[in-house]
Amino acid sequence: MARVEDHNTLAAAQADISQDALRRLDNVFRTGAGVFSILLLLIAWEVFARSGRVTAFMLPPFSVVAERIYADAVSGELWRNLGVTMFRAMAGFGIAAVGGITLGALMSRSKIVHWFFDPIISVGFPMPKIAFLPIIILWLGLYDTAKISIVVLDAIFPVVTATLAGIAGVDKVLLWSARNMGARDNAIMWQIVLPAALPQILTGLQVALPIALIVAIIAEMAMGGYGLGGAMMTASRYANSPAVFAGIVEIAAVGYALIKIMALIRRRLLVWHEETAGH
Amino acid sequence: MTQTVTQNALRYLPLLLLALAWETTARFNIVDSQALPPLSQVAAAWLDLVRDGELITNGTASLYRGGAGLLLAVAVGGALGLAMAQWRIFDMFINPLVELFYPLPKSALIPVTVLWLGFGDGSKILLIFLGCMIPVTIGAYNGARGSDHALVWSARSMGASRLRMMWDVVIPSALPELLNGIRTALALAFILLVSSELIVSQKGFGYLIGYLGSTGAYEGMYAVVLTVAFLGFAADRIYQFLMQWLLRWRE
């Protein structure tokens, strides 16, 4: 009897291993296909741009664009613009994150705060806040304060709503037992409510992060000055198309890196949570 | 009935309070009335803009651009997402590209579309199409992949053709996620539309805002900004109703 069970577990284990190997093979295959299709895209870009069907103005070859990026990197122009844009986007994102979580927590604790901000959030969330950019310029001028403010205005809404939803979904039994054991309101907020709401809060931050970057770039395009967006707009005015395409590649790389970093942070912060158990 | 009216009034009272605060701070010159004209003057400027047709002509131009770009994005993006969910080969080769372009801050496309198609309608439509396509694709893809395999198999075993099955089984079950993707695209369309018109344009809401601002007609500028903000809000609300209506067959 025992031996049969042994055989069964062994067979199950073997099946597991082969399943695992298959999955890994599938992953390798997928990554391969992914790299392949991106390479294919770059080659197609190069060939199409050189084929003479489009002018170099409409679509400069990828090699020319890469050269331009390299030249900008060597001269330091790239790092300066990148630094300025990242500073604005991240400062705005940071303020929106802290402010949004605080406001969400306050709204969930106080009826009056909730009453006041609820209609503002629900009406303001679907609005295209970027339309307020000229008003912000009117109030704050063309410098960093204005650019960071419009980023905050746009990025704060998803954080507040996610925090509210996360806190509303916290298991009531947890709260009752904590209160029963004599935990104070502050301790409950920091040790139970916020950690339990963390997955949803992080989702809100993951929505807010690309918004921050999009808006920072729009603000730079509209107001000019240094930064990746400003540099692209200047290049476009001078009909310098390699620099415009260099801007797209650079901004795409930044966006990609930010999203990956955010996903990594999420996994780190939620090690204890069941959502990470599979990894 | 009266109860819900009072409830709603109480609920939206803070917005009225904000409007009152705006009017009084502007009236008593607590802040520079150039920077913040009283709400009543903004309303008067709005009426003037409607009467002389400025708001209507520019508004129609904007709505045409936004609508055309969004429709294209829904059609192409939806078809692409469904194809990716149906055929493994599409999935393998298109999905990496979708993942590559998904995090691209879409505003980066503004100068390129200008480079390609100039300052007119074409560049805005292309921008909105490119920018809004990916959320729709991802919605359609996730929705169709999540569709019940048992349903698909039984439909196939009953002899449904691939297209028939697509229409009767896959699309309805993909609908909730697809519609959510379109909702994201709708919000994105407004953002891209207004920002591209603010940056380079010769007509449209964004152009009108920039023009009024540069001539110092701040009441008018506020009026157009509020109009755009309201339209974005209203579009989302109407879309939500539409979504509920389309999904009413679900339990």
**pLDDT, tens digit, for every residue of B54-107?**
899 999 999 999 999 999 999 999 999 988 888 888 888 788 888 878 888 888
* pLDDT per residue as tens digits for the range A127-138: 999 999 999 998
Can you list the alpha helix ranges (DSSP code H) found in A53-76? Answer: 62-75
Q: Which of A92, A126, A81, A77 is nearest to A215 (CA)?
A: A92
* pLDDT per residue as tens digits for the range B198-216: 988 888 999 999 999 888 8
CB A126 to CB B235 under 8 A?
yes
Residue A11: band (very low, low, confident or very high) from pLDDT cuts 50, 70, 90? low
pLDDT beyond 80 at A3: no
- How near does any CA of chain B get to the CA of A23, in Å? 15
* pLDDT per residue as tens digits for the range A167-215: 988 888 888 888 888 778 788 888 888 888 999 999 999 999 999 999 9
* Full set of structural domains in chain B with CATH: 40-246 (1.10.3720.10)
CB A123 to CB B15 under 8 A?
yes
Quote the pTM value. Answer: 0.85
CB A252 to CB B103 under 8 A?
yes
Domain A62-276: homologous superfamily in CATH: MetI-like (1.10.3720.10)
> Could you tell me if A264 lies within 8 Å of chain B, comparing CB atoms?
no
User: B216: exposed, middle or buried (C-beta count within 10 Å: 0-12, 13-18, 19+)?
Assistant: exposed
Residue A2: band (very low, low, confident or very high) from pLDDT cuts 50, 70, 90? very low
CB B95 to CB A34 under 8 A?
yes
The Cα B204–Cα B185 span in angstroms is 20
Residue A1: band (very low, low, confident or very high) from pLDDT cuts 50, 70, 90? very low
Q: Which of the pair, A33 or A101, is modelled with greater confidence? A: A101
A-chain residue closest to B189, CA distance: A128
Tell me which residue has tokens 């997928």: A30
Residue A31: band (very low, low, confident or very high) from pLDDT cuts 50, 70, 90? confident
The HSE-up count of residue A108 (CA atoms within 13 Å, CB side) is 22
Write down the domain spans for chain A.
Answer: 1-53, 62-276
Residue B155: band (very low, low, confident or very high) from pLDDT cuts 50, 70, 90? confident
**Count of CB contacts below 8 A, A vs B?**
155
